[in-house]
Amino acid sequence: MRKVKVAATQMSCSNNMEENIQRAESLVRQAAAKGAQIIQLQELFETPYFCQKEKADYYAYATELEQNKAVNHFRQIAKELEVVLPISFYEKKNNARYNSLAVIDATGEVLGLYRKSHIPDGPGYEEKFYFNPGDTGFKVWNTRYGKIGIGVCWDQWYPEAARCMALMGAEILFYPTAIGSEPEDSTIDSKDHWQVCMLGHAAANLVPVVASNRIGVEEDEDSSITFYGSSFIAGPQGNKVAESSRDNEEVIVAEFDLDQLEIQRIEWGIFRDRRPDLYKTIATYDGEQMIK
């Protein structure tokens, strides 16, 4: 048996970066006290979700990996608590800016970096103004407690990303997120759609999925988003095993036996029966076969 406990957290964020980091640390400590070994914090938790408006002033939030406050802070926390912490941050690299994530192992070592692949662009979610498309490709990390794959927010809508990480050996998928209401249409509530999409990743790949969202109302001039929380942990059949509320700061935890899940994946035959030779269409934009 190779059992691992995972956690998802959710919180609101203020304009005070130090306060946000301390609040995130409190949640990590709560999760560790519950036995969690891999703990997911939400997307870009150092600041409010600044992508509601296109403002050049917000470029100043970006830092190089080595100088990022949250990454350096949580390296010490990970080592102290012996937990794995994927940390979302706004990365500056020369003239490029990325929506990035550093994976910190239980030793405090940064195992590497993932840059968000899919960048959304719409009212209230103006991310193409702030981020270059990620250039790392999908990545899987061999941590102390298991092999994990991580996508960032908009990545979670793409089954191709989840399948790639599963093919690379990911035993659990993690998604830090910032999603809520639509500033230009308050009748839209994507919470159920958001969850069902990721539950499908769990079921189709027979791997647990951990999603961490933010909560609270954030306003920028005439734009307002109510982040709907609802962070959750899914089992490998696409079943929700833990779920947070829409508006409370919370920590949820679940345990999985990774060896048993591996046996289930083999027995089910999903990866054995794949036909990658027939999937060329998925690598096109328009659905036509690629020219050889």
164 is an active site residue = no
pTM (two decimals) = 0.96
Q: Which residue has the tokens 């957290």?
A: 9
Q: Are strands 96-104 and 232-234 parallel, antiparallel or unpaired?
A: unpaired
pLDDT of residue 68: 98
Residue 196 CB neighbour total at 10 angstroms: 10
43 is an active site residue = yes
Q: Which residues of the chain have pLDDT under 70?
A: 290-292
List the catalytic residue out of 116, 139, 218, 249: 116
In the chain, which ranges are E strands? 3-10, 38-40, 85-93, 96-104, 110-115, 140-143, 146-150, 172-176, 209-212, 215-220, 223-228, 232-234, 240-243, 250-257
pLDDT of residue 59: 97
List the catalytic residue out of 46, 51, 139, 153: 153
Q: Which residue has the tokens 């508006």?
A: 247
197 is an active site residue = no
List the catalytic residue out of 43, 171, 249, 250: 43
pLDDT of residue 288: 86
Q: Which residue has the tokens 């103006």?
A: 126
